[in-house]
Amino acid sequence: MDSLSYAKFPFLRDAAEYVKDQGVTLEDLLTHQAYRQARARGKARVIDALEYGVIQLRPMATEGDCLEEILSYPMARMYVSGVDDRFLTRRYALSEGVTMYERLEREEMDIVEEVAYQLDVSASQESGSLRMHFSNYLLYTSRMRSKDWKLINTEVKRGYVLLPQLRFARVLQQALQDKLESELPLPLDESILRALADDINDLKERTAIRREQYKAEDFGKVSVENFPPCMKHFIGMAQAGENLPHSARFALVSFMHHIGLTSEEILNLFAVSPDFNISKTKYQIEHITGEISGTEYTPPECTTMKSYGICFNPDSLCQNPKAKVKHPLGYYRIKNRSKKSAKAVPSSRS
């Protein structure tokens, strides 16, 4: 691979080696005038992620351009770590993943294989496709919601699956996303934070704005009317002062958290529970929302809720095979969407 490939795929281990060979030190990168452009590109990487969800192509015609592009990647990682916000980290990881996916589409198979190797995804070329063990395939695809990615809808032969380039690139996207989410935020020492303080503050503000917009787009105003029947049932129980089983409490808190309610708002909901204990409940909520545990839990899927015996009053949307509701959050999204589109119909005719 050459410097152009490293510029296109700056997360590769070999790209880091290349930077080392060029003799660029961390201090130079952070402060030296010569790397002002690399720092700017790094910040632009983060802004692109926030605004577009994909990193824009920048000039890579000369060795100098390429080096700046490669350096923009470690810079971006430092910015994201400096902001230290889960929303930004996830969005950044997703954008890097999507960008790589789009770029891999136009690459030779050898490059694709090399990128896979450097991301620790074991795969080998076979008759124009990439072959991987089904257990590796599952590591990256089991959380994809689309039916197309289910193992059952994939040809598994003697332990292996064969994927055409584009499909394989999508698997790599997930691998890169997972890798970045697990690596970031990096621990930054004071001197780095000081050097980048202005940009980090700017990015913090941009993140806050974007997050608000994103929430508004994605979920609409929180309306209990659109909650799935299980969640309505739990809220009814909580407000009637009944005790919720632990699994239901967990499902409800993680659901409310995911649709954007604050811990305070969730806490108020439980204030009428018979065994309400403010500090204990607060602790439980903060555990589930990730403020204490560091793990932000997602509500269980419908199948899991069913096996816990807490799937209450499933309605026609839950059971509609075409709607494919597999998750309480999925139900909520569909309900919100259908409300919006229902409104959109008359206005489009007028």
Interface residue list for other proteins (CB under 8 A): 133-136, 138-139, 141-143, 147-148, 150-160, 303, 307
Cβ 270 to other proteins, closest distance in Å? 24
Q: Which two tokens stand for residue 201?
A: 């503050």
Q: Which helix (H) or strand (E) holds 157?
A: strand 156-157
Q: Which is nearer to other proteins, 155 or 189 (CB)?
A: 155
Q: What burial class does residue 158 get, using C-beta atoms within 10 Å of its C-beta: 0-12 exposed, 13-18 middle, 19+ buried?
A: exposed
Q: Are 83 and 206 in contact (CB under 8 A)?
A: no
Cβ 162 to other proteins, closest distance in Å? 8
Give CA 347 to chain center in angstroms. Answer: 34
Q: Which is nearer to other proteins, 141 or 273 (CB)?
A: 141
Cβ 312 to other proteins, closest distance in Å? 19
Q: Which is nearer to other proteins, 57 or 151 (CB)?
A: 151
Cβ 112 to other proteins, closest distance in Å? 22
Q: Using the 8-state DSSP alphabet, how is residue 260 labeled?
A: T
DSSP strand pairing (156-157 vs 129-133)? unpaired
Q: Which two tokens stand for residue 132?
A: 């991987």
Measured CA distances, 142 to 62, 170, 172 (Å):
41, 13, 14
Q: Which is nearer to other proteins, 324 or 337 (CB)?
A: 324
Q: Which two tokens stand for residue 68?
A: 């700046």
Distance CA 171, CA 287 (A): 31
Cβ 64 to other proteins, closest distance in Å? 44
Q: Are 177 and 93 in contact (CB under 8 A)?
A: yes
Q: Which is nearer to other proteins, 118 or 136 (CB)?
A: 136
Q: Which is nearer to other proteins, 30 or 323 (CB)?
A: 323
Q: Tell me if residue 340 falls in helix, strand or coil.
A: helix
Cβ 304 to other proteins, closest distance in Å? 9
Q: Are 256 and 265 in contact (CB under 8 A)?
A: yes
Q: Which is nearer to other proteins, 3 or 141 (CB)?
A: 141
Cβ 291 to other proteins, closest distance in Å? 18
